[in-house]
Each structure stands twice: as C-alpha cells, then as structure tokens.
Structure 1
Amino acid sequence: MNFSELFKVTSRQCSFSPDGQYLACVNQYRLIIRSSTTLEIINLFACIDTIDTIEWSYDSRLILAGLIKRNAVQIFSLDNPEWKCKIDEGSAGLCQVHWAPDSRHILTTAQFHLRITVWSLTSKNVSYIKYPKKLSPNSYVFSLLKPYMALVERRNDSTDHISIFDYSSNWSMIAHFQPNDLEDLQGIEWSPIADVLCLWENSYEYKIVFYTLDGQLLNIYKPENDRLSLGIRCARWSPTGQVIVVGDYEERITVFSYLTYKKIQTSFEPPQKLSSGKGYTILKEEEYNLNSQEKNDQSQRKPYSSSAYSSSAVSQIETNVSIDSKYIIYNGTLQIAPIKPDLDRANPRLGVSSIEYSSSGRYLSTINDTMPNLLFIFDFKPTFHLAFVLIQIQPIRCVKWEPKRDHLALCTHNNRIYIWTPQGASCINLPDESSKHKIDEIKWNNFATLPSIALIGQETMCVGFIGS
C-alpha cells in the first residue's frame, strides 16, 4: 500500500464523490476539490464561514457545504464553478442538510425538528413538510427502486405516522398510515428490493414490524418468552435484500428473512469466553519491537498475514519505527472482560452499535459497545455463523468494507490501518512522515479503478492506494 502526503482537514470533513473521480476536503472555510487519483487541486471554493458538514449530490456534479452556525447552506457546481447558490434558513435554524436522490433538491431540517424544508435548485420552489420526528440518523429514508421518500412523523397527539412522498411529482404525498403496533417508533429501514418498510420500537421494548407502503402489516416480532428485553439498537438490510440483521441493546444478533419477515434462526449472543475450538478463528493483534528481534513467539501461534496487503515494502523504509504489530492466530481460550456501562447516565454505551455488510453480502461485521476492542465477522455460507473474531489492542473507531471486494478496513486511533480478507489480515503502519497521524475514520473510494482509501484524522488526512 502506498500513501500520499498529509493534507489539512477540519473536523474530519472529507468525502469521495459517488462516481469516484473527486475527493472533497474542508479546511476551515475553504472547500477543496481534488482528483481522487492524482490528488491535484481541481477547484477551490470559499464559504462565508467555517464549514460544518459537506455532502456530494448523487450525480457527483454538485456539492453542498452546511454552515450550521450560520443557519445557511452553500452549493457549488463542478461543471460551472462560477455558479453559486446559497440557502438561508433564517430564524428557524438548521440542524441537518441532505441531498435528495435526484440531485436537484436539498432537504434542510430546522432546529428542534420543527419542519423539513425542500429547496428546488431548478424551479427555485420551496416546500415545507411538517411533523418530522427526531430520529438518529434521520427521520426519513429513500427507496432504491422508486422516487419515494418515507418520513416518520410525530403528530400533536403524540402518535407516530408514516408518510410516503414522491419527489419526482413535486413531492406529493402518495400514502400515509399509522403503525398502531408501535408506541414510540425509533428506527426505519427501507428494503432495497421491495416496497417494504422495517420499523422498530424504542429501547425499552423489543418489537420489530414490517409494513407495505399502504400500511398493510406483514409481520410483527416480539421475543417469545415473557422476560423483559431491551429494544433494538440498529438494523440493516443486506445488499441483496434477502435478509435484515438486527442488533439489540442486549448485544444479540437476529436474522430475519425477506420472504416471511420472520426470524430465521436462534439469535446469536456474544460468548463470555473466546475459544479457538468453537469453529471460528481468533486473530489477535500483538505489538513487537522491530529493532530487537524478540517477537514474543509463543507455542501454537502463527502469523496471519495477507500478501495482497503486505506492508513489507513500507517496513523496509521505516527503519526508525521501533514498534510494529501483526495478527496472530490465537489457539486457546480467552476470557472477555466487557466494559460495564454507566446506567445512571442517559444513553449508556451498550448493545450492538455497528452492523456492516461486505459488498457481496456474504460477510457481516458487528461491534458491541461493551467490547469495543473486538470485531465479530459472520459468514452467511453455508449457514449464518461466527467465522472470525479480531481482537485489537485499542478500541475500534471505524469499520468499512471495500465497495467491490469482500475486504474490510478498520482503524483504532493510531497510525495503523488494519485490513482483513477471507484469506488473511495485515496491520500496516503509515510512513515515518505520517507517524503522528491518528486515524479516526476511513472512507473507501467507491468506483476507483484501483482501490483507494481515505485515512482521516481530526486535523489531517491522507490517501492509501492499494496495488493490483
């Protein structure tokens, strides 16, 4: 893997364009557009204040800069750099801003989620949508099949409703229903292959329901026993849409079928002890001193490294680096010591916080908040089972799958990038000149000819290029 020089970035604001041709970075009030391959500056846009968030349009021809403190949004064009547009929310305030999939409408959410405003860049018309409910990350989701948006509403009578809008027809409402089976809706996911919505209850009750767009209930699931069970933390449809995987606050993983919308098998619960004899591979990160050849080799332990991502070429240059790390296959039993959450505080850190699929949908990675150093990797073939457990020295900050291959990258707030593939895994150090760069977030380039990845810190970033 080859690395670029470090570039300055503000608040980790860095993003590849959807078509993979450009890389946008923020440096205070400046928006810098680079070529994703050569990293040469193509455009430089100046905003009226510090940029808080950026987002590419779906067609990669426009980019917005959200100035949350100014209650304003500025939009820039790559085809016509002289063209500029500014949106001002005024006294209503601004807390979120996103593109619609048609790349010609922008949705801004007012402070306290009082309303959503739809701004048309073509007709300059403005539309208002009332009653958006405050949800994380958003109160609305878009269909991948049709020009539809589903919005979760919280009406004045404290009831939740779902409204379906057609953004190709002047944002007209085409359907509306009330999910009577839920009292406090906390999440919504749209199936990638059907007009089906998955909804779930708040954290105090485990309940998940599936609805069609006209409000027909397909299935409702609650645990069979009468034991009180905490609710759902996150849910994700697979890329093929054949299953939806649900993670709850009690750290269980449950798989539902797209045919029956029912649970496929017994929920997976994380083991209290990791054992190499249970059918999964344990990969443990270990540090060693490069200057002395003492690598703390222990019996029944072997290096586990992928030649495709080998960092040996980099290591030959990094003669001044004294500490390196590698994955070893751990044979034996390890006791897991979960972090005890502070239940006296609001929103304690517990449960499954991350569910990510590989590009083919065969593999699935999950992270539990009480075990932030562990990454669980599941395999759907031949049946859903735990295949790998990665044990990191430091807590995992970010996990992302490569868009075209079943390869995974993760970072742990140090100067290393960790790569896992079904054939092997590697710990790759950044070069000496970037040794102080702490990686907090990673983003793959979706459509580059050769895989590349942005390694983003709080104030600096660089790009890693993976050879063929």
Structure 2
Amino acid sequence: MDFTEIYKQTSNLVAFSPGAHFILTAVQDRLIIRRADTFQIERTWLVDTSPTATLAALTKSKPGTSNAAISSGWITHIGWSCDSEYLMAACAKIGAVNVFKIRDETWTARIESGAEGLVRAEWAPDGRSILCFSEWGLRVTVWSLVTGTATYIQYPIHPDRGILALSYSTKYEVNQSPLVGYTFRADGRYFVLAERHKSKETLGVYDASDSYKLARHFSLPTTSLASLSLSPTGNHLAIWEGPLEYKLHILTLVGESLALFTPDPDPGLGIRCVSWHPSGSFIAVGGWDDKIHILHNLTWSAVATLELQSRIPTEVTIWREPNNWLDSTEGRGFLSYERSQGPQSISLTRADSSKPNPKSGAVQLGWSRKGSYLLVRFESVPTMIHLFSFPSATEDFYPKLHSVLIHSRPVLQARWNPERNGRLATCCGTKALFTWSDEWISEGGGEEEMAECIGVPAQKFDVRDLKWAPDGKGLVLVDKDGFCCAFEVEDDGDGDAVVNE
C-alpha cells in the first residue's frame, strides 16, 4: 500500500466521486475537491451558513438563542450527483442545503427548509433531485434542480435513517447494519418510503420518473416497523418488527404478502440486521441469539442456519493479529497474520437476554461482491470476523465457516471491495489497516487466501473508519479530524513499484 499525506476533515465527511476521479471533503463550513491522482485542490467553496429567514424569525421568539450561535453551524451532510456534475452540502442546524456545479464555480443554488427544519439531505439517483427530510417525521421534500419545483410527501416513519449516511462515530461503537426507512429501487425508478398515517404503518411507492407521483400505497402488517430492505432485483421487499418480536415479512411492491418468517423456537428478541444476497435469491437474517438464518426466495423458509460456536472446526483457517506488531515494526510496512487451523476454542460470554440491550447477536452482515462469502460480526466476540463460504449455483448448497480473523482490539469497520469479490478491508481504531484476500498467488501458481496487517506511516493517526473507492483501487482512511488515502502498489514488470490509481 502507498499512503498519501494526511488532510483535514470534519464530521468524517469524505467521499469519492462516482467515477473515483475526485475526493470531496468538508472542513467546517468549506467544501474542498481534490484530484484522486495528484491530491491537488481542484475546487473549493465557502458554504453560506447564515440562518434561513424562517429560522431567523423563529429565534427571535426564543430567548437565549442568538443568530451568531445559529450561523456557526457546520456542514453535516455532503454528496455527489450520480454523474459527478453537481455536489451538495447540507447544514442541518440552519436548515439549508447548498448546491454547487463542479465545472462552473459561479453557479450555485440554495434550498431553505421552513419551520419544519432539516435532519438530513441526500441526492436522488437521477442526480438532479435532492431529498430533504424534516424534523419530527413531518415530511420529505423532493427538490428538482431542473424545474425548481418541490414535491412533498407526508409523514415518513424514520426520517433520519437513510441509505447514504455519511456520519460516523469518533469512538468505539458497535456498527450495526444500517436501519433505513426508505430506499430506491436499483434502477432508480421507484422511491419506497415507510409512512405512518392515522397511527397506522403504511408503505408508499412513488414513481421517480414521473415527478414522484404515488404509484402504490398500502398498509403494512407490522406494529412497530424497525427497518426495510429492497432486494437487488427490486421484486421483493423485506420489512421487520422492532427488537421485541422476531418477525420478517416479505412483500411485493404492489403490497402482496408473500411470507412471514419466525424461527422455531422463538428466540425471545427481534431482528438486528438483514442482508440480501447480490443475486436476490437469498436473504440472511440475524437476531440477538447468535444465529444467522439463510432464507431462499422459492419458499422463504430457512435453508441453512449459521451459528456462533465456541469450537472452531479443523478445516477452518484462523488468522490472528500478531502481538505488539505495531511496536516491533514502528508502524511501517506490512506483516502477515499468524495462521493456524483448528480445532481451537474461543471464549464466549453468553449475554442475559432478560436484561435490556444484551451484548449478543449479529451486528453486521455483509456479502462479498459476487456473494461467495458472507461476513458476520457478532457482538459477543467484538474482536473477531467470521467469514462463511457460500456455494455458487452449480455447487452443492452447503454454506460453512471458511475463516476467522482475530484482532487485538474490537473491530470498528469491515468492508468488502466493491469490484473484487474476495477482498476485505478492516480497521480497529489503531494505526493500522487490515486486509484479507483469497486472490493471493502462492509459490505453486495457485490462488490462496492471505491476511495482512498494514501500518499507517503517521505519528498520530488512528483508523476509525474506511471507505473503498468506487473502482475498488483505493481506500479512504478516516481519523477523528483527518483522513488519508491508501492505494495498492503493483509491480510494473521492470522491478519498479507503481501506484494503482
């Protein structure tokens, strides 16, 4: 890996452009665009953080709140349009969204929320509309940059839960699979929104190609909707209850109920995370009971159950982070994990499910790009990553534990490469980046797996979050107040190393 210098950022707002040619960064009230090949500053804008007219009028009636305190609000959300032509910066505190055009520094637009406030903003898939979510679940406003008009949708259930969240914790927290209250179909045609009308939970399906006109609206079979997830094919919608009931409903976008899944026996608590297989044929469901149920779309019943075990089988490869390797290498270079094979035992602390927020269950489920691996992180063993191999359509269906990665500190983030199937990057809040790959070329010429610890050459930089570039050739590593990028170095055939950008 080749690392760049460390650059400033605030609120962990760093984002590659869709084509991976630029990197957008927010530093307090300023937007900065850098080229991804040279990291030279290409554009910079000072965002207008003055309060909107509505907010300024409201603050006059609130003693103790000054305009100066409001105007000090920093950028809270950033984002690129799908074609990288436009970018936006939202300041939720003042209820405003500023839009800029990368090819024209003088062009700008400003969206001001009214008395309903603003909790988040993000781009729609068309790259010419921006979704603004108000406080208290009052409404969603879709602003069109083409026509300058707004479309209003009332009463979203979870306005602060989105598919493009860009805020991250600066300290250790369990990173659960994102809970969402809305989503778009993969082709961007339909906008699916969980709503509440007259104390009843409903689902609205809106046609994004026709000014977000209502296409379908139907009641949901839930009593306390926790989240929803649309299949990659767009044919099936999974919705599930809150933490007290283990119920997963499968619906179509026209409102037809296909199945209800509840494990037998009932584990007593609800669902923590759900993840669709890239093909849409399977869905993985994890609760608080350290079990992962794999459902098939033909019957919507469990065809396999993966469970956290204290004894690791013989055929499973165990990768363990070497002790004190950062001190011995002075945080530079890379070092392989210590490799061993079972059977081995790991210590498990079974949580008491009768107490609130038990430290158990799956907190992350993630499929590799082609779906041949399923990543699982269990809260009861926060330093471990379990990788389950998943058979292809031509192989016998027998998913099993493939590898276990053991670290010295709890895992903060683990993300699959978006372009390469068997490539994983992990961070634990230390001066290191951890990678796992099944593409390593052995001395015999065949492919095998390899896990490596890579030190970040900086005196003070703890990797708290990481994000892959869209082309999978680089990573953004994020600390509390700064970020750097890491790119793979390849041999050009003449013995010289070149950065793969």
TM range (shorter): 0.7 to 0.9
| Contact 2:282/2:294 (8 A) holds in 1 | yes
Go from structure 1 to structure 2 and tell me whether the alpha carbon gap of 1:321 and 1:147 turns closer, same or farther (over 3 Å shift). closer
**Aligned AA (2:312):** S
Cα drift, residue 326 of structure 1? 4.3
Whether 1:76 aligns to 2:122 is no
The C-alpha deviation readout for 1:367-407, integer Å capped at 9, x for no partner, is: 12222111111110252111111111011111111111120
State the TM-score, normalized to the length of structure 1.
0.87
Distance in 2, matches of 1:68 and 1:141, equals: 21
Structure 2 distance, partners of 1:395, 1:343, is: 25
Task: Return the match for 1:122 from 131, 146, 171.
Answer: 146
Separation in 1, partners of 2:210, 2:468: 34
| Structure 1 match to 2:183 | 141
CA distance in 1, matches of 2:90, 2:324: 44
- CA distance in 1: counterparts of 2:437 and 2:348, whole angstroms: 27
- Comparing 32-41 with 324-333, greater Cα deviation is found at 324-333
2:317 alignment counterpart: 281
Q: Measured at CA, do residues 338 and 74 of structure 1 come closer, stay the same or move farther in structure 2, by a change above 3 Å?
A: farther
The answer (yes or no) to whether the contact 1:276–1:282 under 8 Å persists in 2 is no
Question: SS at the partner of 1:239?
Answer: coil
- Please say if 1:457 is aligned against 2:479: yes
CA distance in 1, matches of 2:333, 2:34: 33
Question: Could you tell me how far 1:256 is from its partner in structure 2?
Answer: 1.3
Q: Is the contact between residue 383 and residue 411 of structure 2 (CA under 8 Å) also seen in structure 1?
A: yes
Q: What residue in structure 1 maps to residue 340 of structure 2?
A: 330
Consecutive unaligned residues of structure 2, counting only runs of 5 or more, are: 50-73, 162-178, 439-448, 491-501
- Residues 316-341 of structure 1, C-alpha deviations (whole Å, 9 max, x = no match): xxxx5599864112345233244858
Q: CA RMSD in A?
A: 2.2
Does 2:447 align with 1:409?
no
C-alpha displacement at 1:224, in angstroms? 3.0
Amino acid aligned to 1:354: Q
Q: Deviations over 1:229-253 (max 9, x none)?
A: 3111111112222211111122211
Aligned twin of 2:444:
none
Distance 1:224 1:348 in 2: 21
**Equivalent position amino acid for 2:248 in 1:** I
Structure 1 residue ranges without an equivalent (≥5): 293-314
User: C-alpha deviations, 1:411-457, integer Å up to 9, x for none?
Assistant: 000110000012201000011xx131000110111126xx1111111
How many angstroms apart in 1 are the aligned matches of 2:212 and 2:326? 61
Structure 1 letter corresponding to 2:401: L
Q: What residue in structure 1 maps to residue 47 of structure 2?
A: 47
Please name the residue that 1:305 is paired with: none
The worse-fitting range, judged by mean Cα deviation, of 328-337 and 137-146 is 328-337
The alpha-carbon deviation at position 93 of structure 1 amounts to: 1.1
Q: Quote the residue 1:307 is aligned against.
A: none
The match for 2:256 among 197, 216, 219 is: 216
Where do residues 354-393 of structure 1 align in structure 2 (5 Å cutoff)? 354-381=364-391, 382=395, 383-393=398-408
**What's the secondary structure of 2:302's corresponding residue?**
coil
Does 2:292 correspond to 1:253?
Answer: yes
User: In 1, are the aligned partners of 2:75 and 2:90 still within 8 Å (CA)?
Assistant: yes
Q: Percent identity?
A: 30
- SS of alignment partner, residue 83 of structure 1: strand
Report the secondary structure of 2:382's partner residue. strand
- Distance 1:171-1:3 versus aligned 2 partners, 3 A rule: same
Shift of 1:200: 1.1
Q: Secondary structure at the match of 1:287?
A: coil
Contact 2:331 2:432 (C-alpha < 8 Å) held by counterparts: no
Q: Distance in 2 between matches of 1:231 and 1:467?
A: 45
For 2:453, the equivalent position in structure 1 comes to: 427
With over 3 angstroms needed to count, the CA separation of the structure-2 counterparts of 1:282 and 1:321, relative to structure 1, is closer
**Deviations 1:81-111, CA, capped at 9 Å, x for gaps:** 2111111113211111111111111111111
Matched residue pairs, number? 431
**2:245 match: secondary structure:** coil
Q: TM-score, normalised by structure 2?
A: 0.81
| Structure 1 match to 2:446 | none
Matched with 1:467 is 489
Q: Is the 8 A contact 1:166 1:173 kept in 2?
A: yes
Alignment match, 2:441: none
Amino acid at match of 2:418: P
1:163 aligned to 2:179?
no
Aligned 8 A contact 2:125 2:188 in 1: no
- Tell me the equivalent position of 1:14: 14
Distance, in Å, in 1 between the alignment partners of 2:254 and 2:332 is 63
Counterpart position of 2:499? none
Counterpart in 2 of 1:244? 283
